[in-house]
Amino acid sequence: MSGGDDDFEEVEKDFSPEGPGAEPEAEASIDVEYGIEDKPPLGESILLGFQHYLTMIGASVAIPLALAGEMGMPGGATARLIGTFFVVSGIATLAQTTVGNRYPIVQGGTFSMLAPALAIIGVLASSGAGWQLMIRELTGAVIVAGLVEVLVGYFGVMGWLKRYMGPVVIAPVIALIGLALFNVPQIQNPNFGAPGTGQNWWLLGLTMVLIIVFSQYLDRYHRSFRLFPVLLGIASAWIIAAVLSVVGVFPEGSVSYVALDSVTEAPLFQPIYPFQWGLPLFTPGFIVGMVAGMLASAIESFGDYHSVARMAGRGAPNARRINHGIGMEGLGNTFAGVMGTGNGSTSYTENVGAIGITGVASRYVVQIGAAVMIVVGYFGPVGQLFATIPAPIIGGLYVVMFGQITAVGLSQLKYVDLDANRNVFIVGFALFAGLAIPGYMSNVGAGMDASASAAFQQGLAAVPILGPVLGTDVVATTIFVIGGTGMAVGGIVAFFLDNTIPGTREERGLTAWEDLTEDDSDFESFWDRRKEDTEATQSAD
């Protein structure tokens, strides 16, 4: 998909504060090497784009593997599902960067919609359904959730809410995006201690140290360390792991093993096309659960947009840009359903972290990376090579990136009066609730035969008077999914308190926020640009 030649227009590099990709009134949280409008040389852009996608390989592989494992998918179908995630990610990213909000932000599978997907699979598994039926049910639920998000975006719901969401709300939301992911399997392996499967902390630590050394210590000595710390760190750790796997130090099946033979055995081409698993099925209870996951994802994306703008040295996104971004994410979700991922499409927090580490916020770079991902999805060996990256290496990358995202979120508080007790209370309470409530949700039903969502529904059904309403599939699933998503919990808590506890607009940071928000004229939609081009052509004739 293309927004025209102007989307890829060559922009001369300018490192001055007033140069491309920077606004005088906006403060960048980092030194921006390439701004949003900058276009590095093609060879450099390919490597930078490849690096952007390396940061989200963990999620792009982990989500389909989790779905395939729960559904009992055979090996060939699992490989094609992973390839489908790559293709959808590439196409959705091109659409978002050219037609959507035009931020340099990668689109891909979302953990927020993984929770309801696993709940749906659990319900179907209890009735003896096969994986073909499960993926068709997931497909239908994702398609409807995407269409709902299209309405939320293009009818301006998120943009309207922006006027009530200042730094006191955005800071905990962004911080929780990073903090809520401290316990992902790549960092805290749940099988720690099991023979051959426990976490390899030295490999994780090696990756983490390499990225830190390249990005924070050696960056001043050579530009390559500044631009490619993630690529260099992951590649170095992977080579070491591959060598140790070949010589037998890492046994086959261990968490650190690099299965090089899987690359040569992968099919050269794998077919990926719409409705490849069959026509979608639409079950109301499943749809509501997926919509709840989508809403949590939209809140996360709202925070991601502000985080990207901050890192790129731009003013906070205006309402129009937010609406177009959320609307395009809805189209991306619908497309993901049509292609059969069984999961949605959203802004990748990992990509935001990569911008913070490298200072590369170029839209062109992300588009190049998106094109690479589309190719990777259809050619099995290349995609399988990505999949050989051991989980500890991904974990080391996550430790660095998610910490950066957390700090960017907290940096929003510079616009807030932290001497005002109401602000300190709101931020602290929202952060704690955003960690504690999802932690509780994950432990519901521990020791019971029922799944966490089923046990939670049983508990709500037992509530006096309100039980018949709270215990329904629709209500229970919605509360469970949103309550299990940290940034959604923190955002809702902060939003309610910030708009009900008395405080001046200056105290809340809303005045400073308005001054930093980009003008409406700073964002031109795809259709605005096409209209201008048409009018210019007609005038010339």
Split at pLDDT 50, 70, 90, the class of 365 is very high
Average pLDDT over residues 37-41: 91
Q: Which pLDDT does position 362 carry in this prediction?
A: 92
Task: Transcribe 231-249 into DSSP letters.
Answer: HHHHHHHHHHHHHHHHTTS
The answer on pLDDT for 505 being more than 60 is yes
- pLDDT bin (cut points 50, 70, 90) of residue 536 is low
Contact 312, 36 (CB under 8 A): yes
CA-wise closest residue to 362 among 87, 51, 18: 51
* Residues 6+ away with beta carbon under 8 Å from 192: 198, 199
| Phi, psi for residue 517 in degrees, rounded to 5 | -70, 135
Q: Work out the average pLDDT over 117-136.
A: 84
**Among 355, 277, 285, 289, residue whose Cα is nearest residue 73:** 277
Give the three-class secondary structure for 34: strand
CA dihedral 343, 345, 346, 352 (to 10 degrees): 100
How many C-beta atoms surround the C-beta of residue 470 within 10 A?
16
pLDDT digits 0-9 by tens, 152-195: 999 999 888 888 888 899 889 888 877 877 776 778 765 544 44
Residue 302's closest CA among 198, 466, 500, 160?
160
Residue 326 has pLDDT above 80, yes or no: yes
pLDDT of the residue at 13 = 41
Please give the helix or strand (H or E) that residue 346 lies within, else none. Answer: strand 346-347
- pLDDT of residue 23 exceeding 90, the answer is no
Per-residue pLDDT reduced to its tens digit, 442-495: 788 777 777 777 888 888 999 998 989 998 887 887 788 788 778 788 989 999
- Lowest-pLDDT choice from 49-53, 238-242, 495-499, 527-531: 527-531
State the pTM of this model: 0.75
Query: Could you read off the pLDDT of 330-350 as tens digits, one per residue?
Result: 999 999 999 999 998 988 877
pLDDT score of 10 more than 60: no
- Please report the pLDDT score of residue 532 as a whole number: 66
Where does residue 253 fall: left (phi above 0), alpha (psi -120 to 50 degrees), or beta otherwise? left
Which residue would you say has higher pLDDT here, 539 or 496? Answer: 496
Per-residue pLDDT at 19 exceeds 60: no
Specify the pLDDT at position 531. 67
Q: Which pLDDT band, with edges at 50, 70 and 90, does 300 fall under? A: confident
3-state secondary structure at position 345: coil
Q: Find the farthest-apart pair of alpha carbons in the chain and give their distance in angstroms, rounded.
A: 75
- Burial of 172 per CB tally in 10 Å (0-12, 13-18, 19+): buried
Residue 453: how many CA atoms within 13 Å on its side-chain side? 25
The yes-or-no verdict on residue 73 having pLDDT over 80 is yes
- Who's near 221: CB < 8 A, 6+ residues apart? none
Q: Percent of the chain scored above 70 by pLDDT? A: 88
Paired with 107 in beta bridges are 347
Name which of 93, 91, 68 is nearest 80 in CA terms: 68
260 and 388 Cβ atoms separated by less than 8 Å: yes
Single out the residue of 213, 214, 238, 242 nearest to residue 226, CA to CA.
214
Rounded Cα distance between 350 and 341, Å, is 20
Please give the torsion angle defined by the CA atoms of residues 315, 406, 220 and 308, in that order, rounded to the nearest 10 degrees: -30
What residues pair up with 287 in beta bridges, in sequence order?
none
Q: What is the mean pLDDT of the chain?
A: 83
Residues 267-284, mean pLDDT to the nearest whole number: 91
The predicted pLDDT at position 299 comes to: 80
Cβ count near 8 (within 10 Å): 15
Q: Is the pLDDT of residue 538 over 50?
A: yes
The token pair that represents 484 in the structure block: 């299990």
